[in-house]
Every structure is written in structure tokens, then in C-alpha cells.
Amino acid sequence: MTERKKITLRTLFSKVTNGEQITMLTCYDYPTAHFQEQAGIHMILVGDSLGMTMLGYETTLPVTMDDMIRHSQAVRRGTPNAWLIGDMPYMSYQPSVESAIRNAGRFMAEADCDAIKLEGGAEMADRMAGIVDAGIPAMGHLGLTPQSVSALGGFRVQGKGALQAKKIMDDAKALEEAGAFSILLEMVPDRVCKLITERAENCFIISLGSGPDAHGQLLIYHDMFGLYPRFKPRMAKVFGDAGQVILAGLKQYAQEVIDHTFPQPENWFSMPDDEYDELLKLLD
Ligand code: KIV
């Protein structure tokens, strides 16, 4: 097992200063976190996308704080050193600044997260500021924000028109001024992402389907490995078709059980002959 130093905000900002890219992935469970730790991923997001990828909901809206805490704890056990971000689920921060601070605090106290992420722009700046003032590093999320998928008209690119792009740029400034250490841009045109990245002064920008010019990249783990059966977003490069490998293995298992070719002696445990004879005597 490879050991690495704990990633801190200082580590992340020094990468930005040195022009090095930041790597970020979603993760929802212990074994995947273990692999991501071994691969040296810098930032890990326990996204509320787990509602879709792990729990099979149609959207992220039914996900609760308790769901998020349980998965974040499992991920932390697998990755002691990544910068771990808990994603604030639907209605855990929208109602008030107080609800935002309390629920952000749960990620830190109960799941040992390093930071939280919340969706929304200027209208969420007071929640962002409240959380940051409470001493909790917070990341913003603009562009396609899945918790507002109904209002946004579906999972589609945001900011293609000049006015909408300007609004996203203004929202990014508002979040930065509220103290966000980073902003995720999801499905925003590459040129808009570049402008926001160039203008970021006290925070760094992560791109999810928003082009190559941000300070780092994020992908949804399940999209990378063909593990989400409902759809494959255009922005997700498949780095390995684990879904097909797993399916082939499952079919082979079923066939071998039916054919009596599984299990083989190496897959079971035997008993010494004398003990077995003794057992038979005990049964007489
Ligand atoms: O929940 C999540 O995984 C996210 C990503 C879509 C960025 O918020």
C-alpha cells in the first residue's frame, strides 16, 4: 500500500500557483475510496449523485443528510489522505443560513470531511459565507446544478447565451467573495469556464464537462467505468468498462453454478477423515 501526505488547502493552492492540475472524482464507498487513495486522487467528492448511482433514484432530490453522512464515513475510512468534500443534499442548506451551518458541521464532526459543497450562485452567498465564517471550507457549484434540474429544464448545458453566461460569471464572483475556496463548473461552455478561471483570485475552478482551462477536472466515477446503466453523459470519458467485466463475471458465475463447475475443492473447506468418522459415530 502506498502512503502519501495528507492533502490540505495549502497543497491544493500551491498546485494552482505552480500551474499543476488538480484531480477530483466522486466516490461513495470504502473499496472505491481505497483505490482512489492508491491512485493519488487529490480531491474526493461524496456527491449526492449517490442517490442516482448507488440508490437508483431518478434524481438527487430524495437524498438525506443521513445518507450522505453514512457514505462519507465509509469513503473516509478508505481514503485517509484525500481532501474529502461532503455534498450538501437537497434542502439541507436552502431553508436558512442556520440549517446550512448545522448540516455542514455534521459532515465535519461525524464524517471527518475536510470541506463541503453546495449548489447555487449569488442567492446562496449568505449560506456560503455563514459556513465559511463557521470555519468550514466550502466549495460552490454552478452551471448545471442537479438539485435545480426541474427549474433548469433538464440535464443540459448552461450559459450558452451571453446573458446566461454573464449571470454564471457574476455568481462565481459572488461565491468567491462569500469565501468559497473553489467553484465547480458543471456543463458550462469551455470559453465561459476559461474566463471564470482567469478571473478567479482567491479560489480555484474545477471543470466537469466545462473544458480544459480550469485549475482541475472532476468526473463522476460511475460514468468513468460504465457503472451507471441509465445513461452516459457526453462529457464522461470511459476509462475502463468495468460494468461489462462485472456483467460477464456474473453470467459466468450463474452458468458455473448451474453446470456444477463451481465450486471446486480450492473454494471449500474439508474436514480430517478421523474427525469425520467420529462425527458419523456420534450420529449413530
Ligand atoms: O453529486 C455530485 O456528484 C455532484 C457532481 C455532479 C458534481 O454534485
Q: Which atom of ligand 1 is nearest to the CA of 45?
A: 3
pLDDT digits (tens, 9 = 90+) for 139-188: 999 999 999 988 888 888 899 999 999 999 999 999 999 999 999 999 99
pLDDT of residue 3: 76
Q: What's the whole-model pTM score?
A: 0.95
* Nine-digit cell string for 169: 460569471
pLDDT of residue 233: 85
pLDDT of residue 18: 98
Q: Is the pLDDT of residue 69 over 80?
A: yes
Q: Is there an atom of ligand 1 within 6 Å of 186 CB?
A: yes
pLDDT digits (tens, 9 = 90+) for 231-254: 888 889 999 999 999 999 999 999
Within 8 A by CB and 6+ apart from 83, the residues are 7, 8, 9, 11, 12, 42, 43, 44, 114, 115
Q: Parallel, antiparallel, or unpaired: how do β-strands 115-117 and 182-186 relate?
A: unpaired
Within 8 A by CB and 6+ apart from 241, the residues are 225, 226
Q: How confident is the model at residue 123 (pLDDT cuts 50, 70, 90)?
A: very high
* Nine-digit cell string for 201: 483570485
Q: Is there an atom of ligand 1 within 6 Å of 223 CB?
A: no
